[in-house]
Amino acid sequence: MAVEDKGRKAASPALRGRHEFPIRVYYEDTDLAGIVYYANYLKFIERGRSEFIRALGVDQVALKADHGIVFAVRRVEADYLRPAKFDDELTVTTELAAETGARIVMEQAVMRDGETLFSATVTIVCLNEAGGPQRLPADIRAKLAPKLH
């Protein structure tokens, strides 16, 4: 719950450190051996990024409606370190690594009991309705800025 302090809201959990998002591995996430199918890690980190952005107070639907801006993945560097299995309880961590006018870089990991199973560096770009690069509005950059300082 946000607390008012001199007219400003207290920092959300995402602003105080890495964002964590819990996920359980369902049967549909696995292959015949009961191991998480490799492409599903990308789905897991997508959910983590979406929740991270939401925790920062950024409404992506409003961003598109008000400014015509959407986020798109430009690049993913991924390392598959250990397998996750059916019924595992996982945590997706997300941290902001860098931000420029139209680009956001995030470090993400999928963890089980503190052990990193998967890690990725994800570059997100901001696009306008025509699919071209678009700078983030100042109010959105301000929500990201405290994470980098």
| CATH number reported for the structural domain that contains residue 22 in this entry | 3.10.129.10
Q: Is residue 4 part of a domain?
A: no
Q: Is residue 76 part of a domain?
A: yes
Q: Is residue 86 part of a domain?
A: yes
Q: What is the DSSP letter of 84?
A: -
Tens-place pLDDT, residues 101-128 = 899 999 999 999 999 999 999 999 999 9
How much is the pTM? 0.84
Q: Is residue 11 part of a domain?
A: no
Q: What is the mean pLDDT of residues 26-41?
A: 97
- Find all residues with CB under 8 Å of 129, minimum gap 6, and list them: 68
Q: Is residue 10 part of a domain?
A: no
Tens-place pLDDT, residues 46-78 = 999 999 999 999 999 999 999 999 999 999 999
pLDDT computed for residue 17 by the predictor: 65
Active site residue: 5, 29, 31, 87, which one?
Answer: 31
Question: Does the active-site annotation cover 5?
Answer: no
Whether pLDDT at 147 is above 80: no
Using a 10 angstrom Cβ sphere, with 0-12 exposed, 13-18 middle and 19 or more buried, the burial of residue 49 is buried
Q: Is residue 3 part of a domain?
A: no
State the residue range of the domain holding 22.
18-148
Q: Is residue 13 part of a domain?
A: no
Q: Is residue 70 part of a domain?
A: yes
pLDDT band at 8 (very low <50, low <70, confident <90, very high): very low
Instruction: Provide the β-strand partners of residue 18.
Output: none
Q: What is the number of structural domains in the chain?
A: 1
